[in-house]
A and B are shown apart, each in its own frame.
Chain A
């Protein structure tokens, strides 16, 4: 049986609830997207896209109390899509002039941070996502597996390879500094 047509009142109620939940989760979502994407502007777009998706898919959220886990999965998948696109296409800034929209960009550029950022940037999307969920969100292996819909063994494997690459990159830098 087809679902009844939503009334204007029900749509308004939905919008109210949506905005409230969005406010509650906005900062945390933005931080998670930043942690995965390592870019404030990309994080903004990913969060926006994820909320658009959430609004669209609202009907699949059976329990508003589970919004957090439901939305987190949407957000992580959206971030993965962004990473996938970014890996195929190299974005080139069209000007050397500063970008007004990135005034809040973190400009800390210590050599160590640069080395870590570069090492993370060189990782595959899967590895980057797992790293962020592990080190930023502090999720357990099982929680990450549930969130990503993969087996815990796969999470462990990805984490292991990501750590191995990071370690190699950081040790390379240390050796270079020692010379």
Chain B
């Protein structure tokens, strides 16, 4: 195909966008920005109707088995924990309209949040216990709340009240910083309802912003409700965009394929820049019983390796599930060696095509020298040393 033909074709193709106009809802969103983006921080109260206060008592930073600490430390914690925080808080908001609601300060839902880091308990909607983590990037809220809906319950009749489970957050706490104050506001929200043969599914997409301790974060979240079984839904992805120096991240929100919990969801991992980092979460199965499910370690495998996030990963000795996601453009393999050069996972014959995942369950031996991750098809370009937790 001659260059001029390709040129003409492409110009025609892109030219079809010439007539596009920004939707009114986008104009509304843009106009709302100055109303919800106060600067400086001292004027926050003037901009926002209500302030949420994070009241934290002195708390323990222990985390039971120590697992959270090592994993979370590996995961640019401030951004990772925020993903969960916002999802937790947003799910409490009463955004029940099935129409796209007006956008702007007058319609912004806000929530009151009490923080009791490290404690466990139960609360009702509109009040959620959060833990807070201080990291080298500032303070980030971390929710310990997780939604639980009884089997068969029609969420539309629940009146916005739901029970949340709480668990010790662990991780990187600074006990000298027990009190936080911040503001969370929903910048915009959309809601729509799918109706399939009388079975409704309402999807709410929210964008929010949190300001605390001189930092701020923005992101979007998605919430599901209705009487459609989750097994009919595919995994959803929510995206959080960091601001104020925080990395971009994406949380993968996976609906468990079980009709028993029509409205539960889990977060399986958080993508921070170049790699997926693990995000273990507490999940309540039964009131009074708060097991902590150990999530798989998820690793992104690119054409040129595992990315920066993998380099800060810390693997726990013992039984471990490792999910490798090929985000590159060509086939890759995956292998792990310990410091002594013993191959623990993978073989050169096993190929992971682009966009596919492979799950490896391995009983990792202790390896003080760490573990070596690599793609057997191109070891030189991909070899990455990953630390071992002590």
Contacts and interface: CB of A to CB of B under 8 A. Distances in A.
B51 to A, nearest CB: 18
Interface in B29-81: 29-31, 33-35, 37-40, 42-43, 46
B18 A31 contact: yes
A26 B29 CA distance: 11
Given A11-B39, A55-B37, A116-B9, A34 B192 contact: no
Interface in A129-179: 131-132, 135-136, 163, 166-167, 170-171, 174
Interface in B103-155: none
A56 B16 CA distance: 32
Contacts of A29: 22
B243 A56 contact: yes
Interface in A69-110: 81, 85, 87-95, 97, 99-101, 104, 106, 108
B250 interface: yes
Contact of B30 (A26, A94, A112): A26
Given A94-B234, A100-B192, A8 B43 contact: yes
A27 interface: yes
B97 interface: no
Contact of A97 (B22, B188, B195): B195
Contacts of A92: 234-237
A163 B243 CA distance: 35
A48 B30 contact: yes
B375 interface: no
> What does DSSP make chain A's interface, helix, strand, loop or mixed?
helix
Nearest to A136: B14
Contacts of B27: 23, 26
Contacts of A55: 33-34, 37
Interface in A1-48: 5-6, 8, 11, 14-15, 18-19, 22-23, 26-27, 29-31, 34-35, 40, 44-45, 47-48
Interface in A50-77: 51-53, 55-56
A15 B34 contact: yes
B30 A51 contact: yes
A70 B101 CA distance: 32
B241 A18 contact: no
Nearest to B274: A88
B237 A94 contact: no
A49 interface: yes
A101 B192 contact: yes
Interface string B234-266: 111101010100001010100000000000000
Contact of A90 (B16, B18, B355): B355
Contact of B34 (A18, A27, A88): A18
A94 B193 CA distance: 12
A88 B17 contact: no
Contacts of B29: 44, 48
B263 to A, nearest CB: 13
A85 B39 contact: no
Contacts of A52: 33, 37, 218, 243
6 contacts: A11-B43, A30-B21, A30-B22, A49-B241, A89-B252, A89-B271
Given A44-B29, A170-B1, 16 more contacts: A27-B20, A31-B20, A34-B20, A40-B20, A48-B207, A49-B241, A55-B33, A56-B37, A85-B239, A88-B250, A89-B250, A93-B234, A95-B196, A97-B194, A101-B25, A170-B9
Q: Which 4 A-B pairs have the closest CB atoms?
A: A15-B34, A30-B22, A136-B14, A97-B194
